[in-house]
Structure 1
Amino acid sequence: MVILTEEGKVALNSLLAQAIAENRVPGAYFAAGTADGTLYSGSAGIRSFRDPTSGKVDENSVFWICSMTKLVVTVAIIQLIEAGKITLETPVDSIVPELANPVVVDDINALEYTFKPAQNKMLIKHLLNHSSGLHYVPSHRKASPESLGPAYTAVGYGGDFSWRKFFELIRNGLPVVPLAFEPGTSWAYGWSCDIVALIVERVTSKSIEEYCKEKIFGPIGMKTTSFYLTPELEKNIVSMTYRRKDGALEVWNGQLGIIEREPSKVGILLGGIGTYTNLDDYLLFLRHLLQIQAGTATNPLLSVGSASNLFRPSLPEHCVEEIKAFGGWEDCQFGYGLCLANSDWPGRRKKGSGFWYGWAGTYYFMDPTTGLAVVYGTQVVPTNDPEVVKLWGQLETALYAGLKD
């Protein structure tokens, strides 16, 4: 099993400190571990831009991890599959009738849709690898190109935080839900994991929060992870920071719409974007998945076979180009819940690694070949902030340079 040298730790500490000193990001957290334990955790900066009284970013800091929620709810639904409650081939509309009779649009970016009835059934397996056809709102249908879609913003609901309203919002003005393509034939990033969480709720008659606390968070000790920004979590929350188009950072003042954060107002729990956690909790989750693969997990959340399926390519080959068009990553596939590197990233993660990120500036990957799990967090928006992404690459490169067998 790999270890991280002292020189490697010094290099990571230096990168974090330098990023703050140069005002590239207000604060950041980075941690790496193996199935056996944590190799490194480090942080720099403050929790709220230009507010030293907010406290330092540290191991207790809480982040809104947005789409890193997707892997959690993917594990939840796979547990139900293992329990025989549903199967990968279960038609989605048998549990979510709101998705019955969808239409396939000819061009999701068109100002006016033309469409035809979908011929293929949307199955649960299509939700797990984003081949369902469900897609996020095109830029011209948002408040601004850099915004989240209305179904992911508090203002979009107008106070009616219900699934009825959610489906109304994702229909984009059509009488039924639009799909980008026939289910199972291509790849598009979208609402699939929100539907995954809804299926878990309807099959178990529990909220996704209740289910995850009982079956995922509790069993492996994720004590600060929740779909609710409770007062306990809020006292350690890392505030959002907005990057203006001129590159300057700006104190958060609601420049972009985000999900409802007041626990008493949250009416539906969004499996695609809805969790808060400190990143050590999330690292624990990733390390547990590596432990399952290694056969060393105590009370594993999944079987070895199901954990391996997370890392097994599941899409038609042409989808490599669709994924590249979305994220800019060369030669990537998708397993269940994870984007997969089909080849080594020079000086970084190895072939077979699974990864994703969160809209507000959090990132992770698991590299089974090296035995690594890694998390990284800021809270800088708009998403994929250049400085945030640059620091992520620098930290990952320094981590691998500092490893020793």
Structure 2
Amino acid sequence: MRSFLYMALFFLKGVVRKWKTLILLFAVPLILMGGSAYIAAKAFTDKERLDPFKAAIVDQDETFQTGYVIKQLTDNEELTRVVKPVVTTEANARKLLKENKIAGMAILPENFSQTIMNGENVPLTVIGNENKPLQAYLFRQVMESAADYTSAAQSGINTVYDFMLQADLSNEVRKTEYKKDVLSFSLHALGRNEVFEETEEGSLFLENILSYYGISIFTLLLMVWAYQILLFMRGQITSGIRTRLLLYKMSAWRLSLSEWLAASVFLIPLLAAGVYALKAGHIWDGERLLETGAGTILILLIFTALFGFISSIFTSDRLFQVVSTVFISTGCVLGGHFIPSFYLPAWLEPYSLFSINTYTLDLAYSLFSGGNTDFSPLLFLLCALIALIGMGAILREKRLEARG
């Protein structure tokens, strides 16, 4: 035990002596990933996401009903973030379209309201701007949605109107009730009178995309830093030092485990800084401090154990770097750091279950978002990796002895 702690202290002293090199080593991935996070955050702000575009609406019917439909389009806050409707004449709309000032135009024809009363589905005329294909497509989708809710309301309105005809009500009463029905059924079709049950579906990705990527980058940084510190520590033990250690009865598995422990201890301050950054960025609310601290340390231990295991198997630095790079690259893709695993192609998604990153990222998101956490799978994985570190070190030393 004493020799084990001595070697861990030896590694830590070697790291501290070359602190300038380490600052550069750890700063590069931090700058790259931090820059990526900043760009992503800017990309998802309202102003940067999509500039609102103009589209013309021509009302040739000019009735209460068409005016109501247009009012719904022009007063909808969510809609006007994307589309700025301009109510104008057909001639002016065609002029604006020709001058490339609008993305499209929609024409509500004459007798449009009357056709709704008679149960006829008269399509709107929608003309898109070929010079703005994306905006034209979005405008078409908006108008199709408006037509859908109009059709939904139409069935209810026609039913009530038919009952009024059968009851032989006066024309004045029918017109008054008809206007009320247009408002009432349209609101129901829009789901504003709580006729639909609203259910929120929790999703690792959709709940908060910026929080997701903040936690994802933090977890990935721990992985990259674990690789870098173990690569750095490999350079501390030359073949001469290793030979002398073995002569002094320093077993291979103790040497590898002390290397893993030293790497984990060294990275804990960086882990604490990352947790503080998540708190400062309002990604984490600061609750469940002990549970969050234990979970993040567990993630750190797993990553250092993974690269410790790879380091104990390969004597060549080049092979260690190549295999570690493969693990990091596949972990980024399959683990969901850049693209959530449920967005992967169907043939690739099942392979995410074989990536350590999948489980560590799930645990990190549960910790920082206040969800239920289960440490048992990762604790089992950690124990397995520690055992593999020891076995890998013993096998490597036996190969070296056989060669000698």
**Interval of TM-score (by shorter of Structure 1 and Structure 2):** under 0.3
Bigger strand share: 1
The structure whose RCO (Cα within 8 Å, separation 6+) is larger is 1
Bigger helix share: 2
TM-score scaled by structure 1?
A: 0.20
TM-score scaled by structure 2?
A: 0.20
